[in-house]
């Protein structure tokens, strides 16, 4: 039986979590089929994974939360597709304080269909070029050919929502280029992922799936300190699944990688908070973002950078003392 250890934050904790802003002394021990229980110790390798400071990402230290602004250079994204020019949005979000700009040219909303490589490249490259010098740049793509063109245009990170499942050439490209990568968990592909997602224990099933993705990346020559993980909220997951992950998301620190959280404007915020229009889900997005920060999540992918930055500034003022 596998054991999973979730660090329990405590201001006076003995250990610093992932070199960041939280401390802990105790753990919640999680086992399949058993109720969670609090314990005082964990194996040395678990403690090492939880406490090792995460490597800088794109020149940014991860000892405090970082904001990744979403630039959808697409006509059909669920939230804001076709409502702006990608290059202009990159400049806007950088001005609002985005430290990373995540530029994507293919929608991965539920039901979205794959588009041709050439079309995706034509969408993302102008925005990536426009973003140079404004913030660090990530390309949101599942395809090695698109990633290669994006890196040539100035992107410095590959954000693969398939976690290397979609394109067999992506791992080799990332290893060859030497850039960091974000590996996300998704059950299925966008066209069908919300048809009937099913798990035994979603929190731990996603943990194991991410561990396999990390191992596959390492086998391809990508060191763990260049890997970011994303549990993939809303990607092949129901509202119940999403909430189960969010309540205990700090367990994923045990994988020894920085964690990215992407919950911005997602449907479950409407279901719970009553905001049918995606653009009205900013308050709910901020609430979940701050809950993630309270569990040590380092990177937050958001549409509303200015509002999130304001909320984060207030959170830091309150929690960091005088």
Active site residues: 266, 301
CA dist 82 → 74, 75, 105, 165, 248 (Å): 6, 4, 11, 28, 35
d(CA 118, CA 58): 27
Burial group, residue 252, by CB count within 10 angstroms (0-12, 13-18, 19+): buried
d(CA 199, CA 236): 10
Please choose, from the candidates 175, 261, 252, the residue with its C-alpha nearest in 3D space to the C-alpha of residue 219.
Answer: 175
Q: Are 137 and 156 in contact (CB under 8 A)?
A: yes
d(CA 292, CA 294): 5
């Amino acid at each position: 039986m596998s054991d999973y250890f979730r660090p329990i934050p405590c201001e006076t904790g003995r250990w610093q979590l992932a070199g960041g802003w939280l401390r802990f002394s105790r753990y919640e021990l999680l086992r399949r089929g058993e109720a969670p229980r609090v314990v005082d110790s964990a194996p040395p390798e678990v403690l090492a994974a939880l406490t090792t400071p995460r490597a800088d990402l794109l020149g940014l230290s991860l000892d405090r939360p970082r904001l990744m602004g979403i630039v959808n250079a697409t006509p059909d994204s669920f939230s804001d597709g076709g409502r702006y020019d990608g290059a202009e949005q990159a400049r806007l979000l950088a001005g609002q304080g985005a430290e990373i700009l995540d530029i994507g040219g293919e929608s991965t909303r539920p039901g979205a269909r794959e588009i041709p490589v050439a079309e995706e490249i034509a969408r993302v490259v102008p925005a990536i070029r426009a973003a140079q010098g404004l913030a660090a740049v990530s390309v949101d793509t599942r395809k090695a050919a698109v990633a290669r063109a994006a890196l040539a245009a100035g992107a410095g990170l590959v954000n693969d929502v398939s976690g290397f499942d979609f394109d067999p050439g992506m791992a080799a490209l990332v290893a060859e280029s030497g850039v960091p990568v974000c590996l996300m968990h998704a059950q299925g592909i966008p066209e069908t992922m919300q048809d009937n997602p099913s798990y035994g224990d979603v929190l731990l099933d996603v943990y194991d799936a991410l561990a396999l993705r990390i191992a596959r990346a390492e086998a391809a020559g990508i060191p763990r300190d260049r890997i970011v993980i994303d549990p993939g909220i809303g990607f092949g997951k129901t509202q119940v699944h999403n909430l189960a992950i969010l309540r205990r998301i700090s367990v994923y620190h045990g994988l020894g990688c920085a964690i990215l959280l992407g919950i911005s404007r997602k449907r479950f915020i409407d279901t719970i908070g009553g905001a049918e229009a995606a653009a009205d889900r900013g308050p709910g997005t901020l609430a979940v973002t701050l809950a993630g920060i309270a569990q040590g999540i380092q990177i937050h992918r958001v549409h509303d950078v200015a509002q999130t930055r304001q909320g984060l500034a207030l959170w830091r003022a309150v929690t960091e003392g005088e």
